[in-house]
A and B are shown apart, each in its own frame.
Chain A
Amino acid sequence: MRLRPYGDRALLLDCDDLAEAQAWFAALHGTTEAVLGARSVLVRGEPAVLRTLVERTTPLAAGPGADDRAVEVPVAYDGPDLDDVARLTGLSTREVVAAHTGTAWTVAFGGFAPGFSYLVGGDPRLEVPRRPSPRTTVPAGSVGLAGGFSGVYPRSSPGGWQLVGRTSLAMWDSRREPPALLTAGTTVRFVVA
């Protein structure tokens, strides 16, 4: 892990991989405001104070399921890109659904929009590129794939992921605690609705 400058109110922990970033996030979040990326952690505060804090911190082994929650997400697999995903992966649509539901996913980090989570740990055969051009509107609840990640759009928004299905589960509810259904470390199982 290398510390990189980030303006006058933050520092970036530049890690080798997601697991190392998750371990630092688990150790630092709560002590200071931290945000997890795919391979990095941003911590907010006085940079000199943060350097000392990081030096005195040991990253926590925070593998899948660190928050001990498992969430089942029922999906209707009728997405507009299901056939494309089958073509890109060389699987039948039935095999795509089996692969998506066949392994447990883990929330790596949140981002993009409130309640959007980047899920990792799925079947490696499902690694597909983003769509060549993003849709201007993706309906709320759409379940997508891109670059080895899966995710659920919390609200209607533009988006470039390959859409394989939809869920009626609310990914985001401001009145809920926490408002995001899926947070870093949550285990997610997709099931056929």
Chain B
Amino acid sequence: MTLRVEQPGLLTLVQDPGRPGLGHLGVSAAGAFDRGALRQANALLGNDPDAAAIELLGGGLVLRAAAPHRVAVTGAPGPVTIDGRHVAHGRALRLAAGQLLRVDPPSSGLRTYVGVAGGLDAQPELGSVSTDTLAGLGPAPLVAGDTLHTGREPVPPLLEDVLPLVNSGDITVDVVLGPRDDWFSPVAVRRLLDDPWHVSPSSDRVGVRLVGEPLERSRTDELPSEPCLRGSVQVAADGQPIVFGPDHPVTGGYPVIAVVVDAHTDRLAQARPGQVVRFHRVP
């Protein structure tokens, strides 16, 4: 069972939940940036929740079915067509042999997920088929002419449909202060929590870069390299925060002022350039 990539879009990757537990080898977990959207696609198709799907940045994907397939499109919502006919986002779709599935740029959000019944079958590296863009692990980004293989037929689906996410307004994420909030002035810590932070266009899977009034440090010495995680809010020398995404470096040399709670890190997958991110402190 195969699908052919006719048009790959801007950056189209195979993603599963990643390769956790290998930080001591210098390997980040990587995996889908919007894990919730990946799980929704799998639930709509009856796949294993951890099955691999396509993560698509900014739309522009065209796939041709070489055989009948069931597919589901989740994450950032936008126009989806089969042979030019509009079909639903967030539902299982039937794709007959020879038909074209087109996923156009999303109307809100950034990353769209295309799941296939049976999941995508790719060559695993360290137990995962996720592409880590920083470390260079996993399959290369998809290009026109690539053939995608699917796995075994899955069990009946768990969900019939999912509501599209609507997040064209501000994105608010909960953070726990620390471990290095004491490297910043009290004013800077307050401003992290009170100010609107604008998403920079140079954001990617390594980190969502934020732009605002620089956060002043209260000490200027160098921090010895420290381990970090998806969700770490690292403040670089220029005082601008970077929230680490799935492909973050395993260690970093700038102080982490706060850490986004794990469940809210998915929201940053959909943060568009210019959109406002706000941090809400939780104990």
Contacts and interface: CB of A to CB of B under 8 A. Distances in A.
Contact of B137 (A29, A40, A111, A114): A114
A6 B26 contact: no
A111 B27 contact: no
Interface string B116-142: 000000000110000000111100000
A38 B226 contact: yes
A41 B228 CA distance: 10
Nearest to A3: B179
Nearest to A156: B136
Contact of B251 (A25, A34, A112): A112
B227 A5 contact: no
A35 B250 contact: yes
Contact of A115 (B25, B178, B260): B25
Interface in A103-128: 109-118
A117 B250 CA distance: 12
A114 B27 contact: yes
Interface in B136-180: 136-137, 175-180
Contacts of B134: 113
A9 B135 contact: no
Interface in B230-264: 231-232, 249-251, 256, 259-262
A40 B229 CA distance: 14
A111 B134 CA distance: 12
B135 A33 contact: no
A149 to B, nearest CB: 9
Contacts of A44: 229
Given A35-B250, A179-B126, A8 B261 contact: yes
Contacts, number: 115
Contacts of B24: 25, 29, 34-36, 110, 183-184
B25 A183 contact: yes
B227 A111 contact: yes
Interface string A36-48: 1111111010000
Contacts of B176: 5-8
A73 interface: no
B21 interface: yes
Given A109-B251, A178-B25, A7 B20 contact: no
Given A4-B178, A109-B251, A174-B126, A35 B225 contact: no
Interface in A36-82: 36-42, 44
A96 interface: no
Contacts of A131: none
Given A12-B179, A174-B125, A179-B126, A115 B26 contact: yes
A189 interface: no
A39 B253 CA distance: 12
A180 B137 CA distance: 13
Contact of A111 (B126, B136, B229, B249): B249
A35 B27 CA distance: 10
B251 A39 contact: no
Contacts of B137: 114, 174
B262 A39 contact: no
Given A7-B176, A114-B27, A37 B229 contact: no
Nearest to A180: B25
B1 to A, nearest CB: 27
B224 interface: yes
Nearest to B263: A8
B60 interface: no
Nearest to B222: A147
B49 interface: no
Contacts of B231: 7
Given A7-B231, A8-B262, A110 B226 contact: no
A40 B27 CA distance: 18
A33 B23 contact: yes
Contact of B225 (A4, A7, A34, A118): A118
Given A9-B229, A109-B251, A180 B224 contact: no
9 contacts: A8-B262, A12-B179, A12-B227, A34-B23, A42-B226, A42-B227, A112-B250, A180-B25, A183-B24
Interface of A: 4-10, 12, 14, 25, 29, 33-42, 44, 109-118, 155, 174, 178-180, 183-184
What are the nearest 10 A-B pairs in CB distance? A7-B259, A111-B251, A38-B224, A4-B179, A42-B227, A35-B23, A35-B227, A110-B26, A5-B178, A37-B226
